[in-house]
Chain A
Amino acid sequence: MIRGNKHYAWQSTSWLVALVLIAPVLVMLLSGLFASGELFVHLWQSVLPTYISNTLILSVLVVGFSLLFGIPSAIIISQTQVIGRQYLRWLLLLPLAMPAYLVAYLYTDLFDYAGPVQRFLRGCFHWQAPSDYWFFDMRTLTGAAVMLALVLFPYVYMLVRTAFESQDQQLIRASQSLGLTLRQSFIKVSLPLARPAIAVAASLVLMETLADFATVQYFAVNTLTTAIYDTWLEYGELATANALASVLMLFVLFAVVAEQRARAGHRHQSNRPNNYIKIRQLTWPQQLCCAGFCWLLVIAGFALPLCLLIKMAIDYASFNQLQQLLWSGINSLKVSLFTATFATLIALLLALFKRLHYSSARSVPLQLSGVGYAIPGTVLAMAMLATFGPIDHWINDLAKLLDLARPGLLLSGSIFAIIFALVVRFAAIANGTIASGIEQIPASLDVAPASLGVGLKRSLLTVHLPLLKSSIFVAWLLVFVEAMKELPAVLLLRPFNFDTLSTQIYQLISDEQLEQGALGALLIVLFGLLPIIYLNKKENNV
């Protein structure tokens, strides 16, 4: 622990950084207080109840499907000797690399009336019109939920699998020695022990669902995000839009609190767990079911969309496109590099502050700075404009007063606003990764250097940072990839002549011409694979 005024600077910097990160959110909430009651009443009497119920149904469905996909696969991989286990272990993570809106587009193309599947069926059975047979409709609430769950379930799989693998097996063996069968002990002991991990995963999935914009829009499923968009851009009522955004935030806050409560119960693990899991041998029919289930998830969430993308890229790629792609690609890289670097540095500052500083509220800055993850990109973009717009005006007014050249919209009109928004949104990812890395450093290492007369700065540089190297890299990589995929915030904040890969692809998708952007989409997916490959490699080396 560090005491005294010597580190006052560190303390104030940590608080300042956290406050700056949540300032836009506060500005947004404040502006929501001045919402027009009249428009609110009109929306309430017309579309709002449906938007809210759609949001709720979508959230429940996506979380439900994600658990349905994620928990069984986690159980299969961690507990059984399924064929191809060593490959499935990391293959099941791959769908994370796919942006949901891409998967949605590709599957709609595949399963639409004019798509190859229905054409094939019509050819086989000589059906002529849609009324001749029944086929599921992709562009529905359930369709959107399945699409989102297909790319979000790896969160559940990853966290729950880790939870199972780190469980104290002595507890499970004890339960069995007391007469429980294998199945009973799994349901009564293992599953409840994994409950906090399931809750964390479910809340992650929920946040991503509420933040989604492109998928629901493409599927014509109107949710609260649609309402925020419409209220702001069609009715021109920013304050009411902010009020709606605050309602959305309440939803998310509810999820976060529920998740933290669930995690508070995560204390009945022993300090010296015995992690040696007795792997179950499967009978042939069981093998077939389990392996089939896992492979189906990998194929549906990753392999099939990837193949469709590759085919489109081969069919439609042209030289002209490559040039445009190069520019968007460079912009994407620029945005992602800055976002990842700033988010990681901030996480490092705040997590080390929490660990090393003596102060009763030392974990507050870290918690505050993570709030942004709960805010959809569209809402964040609005908050950025509301915050930096006035600051830009002050800067320009000041320049005018001092007879200097007008600097223009330095903050709200440049990629600064985009990077700031993305750092706010993804700080939580970097925070979580680095904080858990720090937790693994024994507490004795905080004190030992001081007892040997080594100063804080040197002990940080020579002890903590080298031990954290891998966590820092993982945090950086995860934020980098998320920033690469992020769409709504960039869409609303981009300056002149500025497109990223995701905005370029979105424009093409909204005009139903993804074929032209397939190469760019492939690039985003390939970048998304980087952290998965790295994490898998690291895991194998342990």
Chain B
Amino acid sequence: MLKKALGRCLLLVSVILPNLMVQAEEVNVYSYRQPFLVKPLFDVFTKQSGIKVNVVFAKKGMAERLMREGEYSPADVLLTTDISRLVELHDKKLLQAVSSQVLEQAVPQQFQATDDTWFGLTTRVRNIYSAKRLGNISINYEDLADAKYKGRICTRSGKHPYNVALVASMIAEHGEAKTLEWLNGVKANLARKPQGSDRGQVQAIHQNLCDLSLGNSYYFGKMLKDDKQKVWADAVNINFPNQGNRGAHVNISGVALAKYAPNKANAIALMEFLVSEKAQKMYAETNMEYPVRAGVAVSKLVASWGKFKADTLSLEQIAKHRKAAIKLIDQAKFDL
């Protein structure tokens, strides 16, 4: 009986495993981006090209996974939600350069790697949301440490990549010592322990728990389009910080080709599709992000928030300070 059962189990395993192996005419994507954001884009790509897109939503540990898999990794295309992750993949030598006229021309110079290993797809601003009850304000990131906001700031975990990138940009601007001072100041001003998502903070402002929060621009649009969350968004103003000086901190969502991509041609086809006018329009309309491709307009809703000045500091410069940023966040015990 035991033997029989064991035999049956082995048979079942042998049926399942081959399903997971790589087949022809497909492309494998490791994605930080959430399913509902990228699935519609992949569906259009598959319809156009006939290439099937397989996705793992590896929100955490993509670099570690790729390193372990080494030359046998099935990954072709890597999608990330911020610059630090792209640079991390680059620094760990997990990417390969792509020579593609299409990508070169579509993506502005400042949003692509100097060695062609990664390309930006969309830009996203780290906004400061303020309660409508504060009226129209002009604010800098530096102001968040001002004692006048004591007990009035909400944010998600300091170690979330979006906040890490912002802290890294502060290091690039002010140096480590000043940034630590700033982090301590912001921490002292928090209304509650860092928790939840960017939307959760806006909800907290709506509930009178705080007056200011950090959040990415597209979340504002998403909340306005959600029946349940519209009341939260209606309670806040979206501010573009540092307009009187260096400009608002801008991050990118980006794409790269894995070093050992087994389906290289398909991968480049997908990358080129993602910067095409059609895909960039989808990014703008469905995700309410700022497309990188020149000539593709932002959505009407996003346009209604007005034009803004973006920090021009090179993204590679900012990403260099990522590790230092995490260390400072721990040092300030920001999340505790």
Among B9, B21, B88, which residue has the most Cβ atoms of chain A within 10 A?
A: B21
Per-residue A-contact encoding for B295-314, CB less than 8 Å = 1, 0 else? 00000000000000000000
CB nearest to A349 among chain B residues: B2
- B82 to nearest A CB, angstroms? 13
B70 near A114 (CB under 8 angstroms)?
no
A230 near B159 (CB under 8 angstroms)?
yes
A43 near B330 (CB under 8 angstroms)?
yes
Q: Please, which residues of chain A bring their CB within 8 A of the CB of B6? A: 345
> Which B59-89 residues sit within 8 Å CB-CB of chain A?
59-61, 63-65, 68-74, 88
Q: Please, which residues of chain B bring their CB within 8 A of the CB of A410? A: 17
A50 near B336 (CB under 8 angstroms)?
yes
Q: Please, which residues of chain B bring their CB within 8 A of the CB of A497? A: 54-56
Q: Known: A50-B336, A392-B72. Is A220-B157 also a contact (CB below 8 A)?
A: yes
> Which A116-132 residues sit within 8 Å CB-CB of chain B?
128-130
B2 near A345 (CB under 8 angstroms)?
yes
Task: Give A315 to B140 CA distance when docked, in angstroms.
Answer: 42
Q: Please, which residues of chain A bring their CB within 8 A of the CB of B204? A: 113
> Which B88-128 residues sit within 8 Å CB-CB of chain A?
88, 92
Q: Please, which residues of chain B bring their CB within 8 A of the CB of A449? A: none
Q: How large is the interface on B (under 10, 10 to 19, 20 to 34, 35 or more residues)?
A: 35 or more
Tell me if A232 counts as interface (CB < 8 A to partner B): yes
A236 near B197 (CB under 8 angstroms)?
no
Q: Known: A47-B336, A512-B200. Is A492-B54 also a contact (CB below 8 A)?
A: no
B197 near A234 (CB under 8 angstroms)?
no
B1 near A461 (CB under 8 angstroms)?
yes
Q: Please, which residues of chain A bring their CB within 8 A of the CB of B22? A: 408
- B177 to nearest A CB, angstroms? 16
Q: Known: A130-B208, A496-B20, A496-B54. Is A236-B64 also a contact (CB below 8 A)?
A: yes
Q: Please, which residues of chain B bring their CB within 8 A of the CB of A345? A: 2, 5-6, 9
B209 near A511 (CB under 8 angstroms)?
no
Per-residue B-contact encoding for A50-68, CB less than 8 Å = 1, 0 else? 1000000000000000000
CB nearest to B8 among chain A residues: A341
Task: Give A350 to B335 CA distance when docked, in angstroms.
Answer: 46
Q: Please, which residues of chain B bring their CB within 8 A of the CB of A232? A: 61, 64
B326 near A234 (CB under 8 angstroms)?
yes
B330 near A114 (CB under 8 angstroms)?
no
Task: Give A172 to B35 CA distance when docked, in angstroms.
Answer: 62
Q: Which of B168-176, B188-196, B249-257, B271-279 contacts A (4 or more CB under 8 A)?
A: B188-196
Q: Known: A43-B330, A348-B2, A461-B1. Is A393-B9 also a contact (CB below 8 A)?
A: no
Q: Please, which residues of chain B bring their CB within 8 A of the CB of A416? A: 13, 17
Tell me if A342 counts as interface (CB < 8 A to partner B): yes
Q: Known: A222-B335, A232-B61, A338-B9. Is A495-B200 also a contact (CB below 8 A)?
A: no
Task: Give A47 to B334 CA distance when docked, in angstroms.
Answer: 9
- B332 to nearest A CB, angstroms? 8
Task: Count residues of chain A with CB under 8 A from any CB of chain B.
Answer: 59
CB nearest to B73 among chain A residues: A409
A408 near B21 (CB under 8 angstroms)?
yes
A496 near B34 (CB under 8 angstroms)?
no
Per-residue B-contact encoding for A154-186, CB less than 8 Å = 1, 0 else? 000000000000000000000000000000000
B74 near A408 (CB under 8 angstroms)?
yes
B330 near A47 (CB under 8 angstroms)?
yes
CB nearest to B334 among chain A residues: A47
A409 near B326 (CB under 8 angstroms)?
no
CB nearest to A118 among chain B residues: B207
Contact of B207 among A130, A230, A236, A406 (CB under 8 A): A130
B69 near A412 (CB under 8 angstroms)?
yes
Q: Please, which residues of chain B bring their CB within 8 A of the CB of A128? A: 208
Q: Please, which residues of chain A bring their CB within 8 A of the CB of B280? A: none
Tell me if A479 counts as interface (CB < 8 A to partner B): no
> Which B184-230 residues sit within 8 Å CB-CB of chain A?
192-197, 199-200, 203-204, 206-209
Q: Please, which residues of chain A bring their CB within 8 A of the CB of B336? A: 47, 50, 222
Tell me if B24 counts as interface (CB < 8 A to partner A): no
A413 near B20 (CB under 8 angstroms)?
yes
Q: Please, which residues of chain B bring their CB within 8 A of the CB of A355? A: none
Q: Please, which residues of chain B bring their CB within 8 A of the CB of A507? A: 34-35, 57, 59
Task: Give A497 to B22 CA distance when docked, in angstroms.
Answer: 13
A414 near B68 (CB under 8 angstroms)?
no
CB nearest to B61 among chain A residues: A233
B335 near A220 (CB under 8 angstroms)?
yes
CB nearest to A352 among chain B residues: B2
Tell me if B331 counts as interface (CB < 8 A to partner A): yes
CB nearest to B1 among chain A residues: A461
B335 near A236 (CB under 8 angstroms)?
no
Contact of B17 among A113, A414, A511 (CB under 8 A): A414
> Which A503-533 residues sit within 8 Å CB-CB of chain B?
507, 510-512
B69 near A236 (CB under 8 angstroms)?
no
Task: Give A235 to B60 CA distance when docked, in angstroms.
Answer: 12
Q: Please, which residues of chain B bring their CB within 8 A of the CB of A137? A: 192
Tell me if A396 counts as interface (CB < 8 A to partner B): yes
A42 near B327 (CB under 8 angstroms)?
yes
B326 near A393 (CB under 8 angstroms)?
no
Q: Please, which residues of chain A bring their CB within 8 A of the CB of B88? A: 236
Tell me if B178 counts as interface (CB < 8 A to partner A): no
A114 near B326 (CB under 8 angstroms)?
no
Q: Please, which residues of chain B bring their CB within 8 A of the CB of A408? A: 20-22, 72, 74
Sample of 14 further A-B pairs with CB below 8 A, known A114-B207, A222-B336, A494-B56: A43-B330, A114-B203, A129-B208, A139-B192, A235-B326, A236-B92, A341-B5, A345-B6, A415-B16, A496-B54, A507-B34, A507-B59, A510-B197, A512-B197
22 contacts between A and B (CB under 8 A): A42-B327, A46-B330, A50-B336, A130-B209, A139-B193, A139-B195, A230-B159, A232-B64, A235-B326, A236-B88, A334-B16, A345-B9, A393-B70, A408-B20, A408-B74, A409-B69, A414-B16, A461-B1, A465-B1, A492-B60, A495-B56, A497-B55
Q: Residues of A at under 8 Å CB distance from B?
A: 42-43, 45-47, 50, 113-114, 128-130, 137, 139, 219-220, 222, 229-230, 232-236, 238, 334, 338, 341-342, 345, 348-349, 385-386, 389, 392-393, 396, 406-410, 412-416, 461, 465, 492, 494-498, 507, 510-512
Q: Which 5 A-B pairs have the closest CB atoms?
A: A220-B195, A496-B54, A389-B68, A46-B330, A113-B207
Q: Residues of B at under 8 Å CB distance from A?
A: 1-2, 5-6, 9, 12-13, 16-17, 20-22, 28, 34-35, 54-57, 59-61, 63-65, 68-74, 88, 92, 157, 159, 164, 192-197, 199-200, 203-204, 206-209, 323, 326-327, 330-331, 333, 335-336
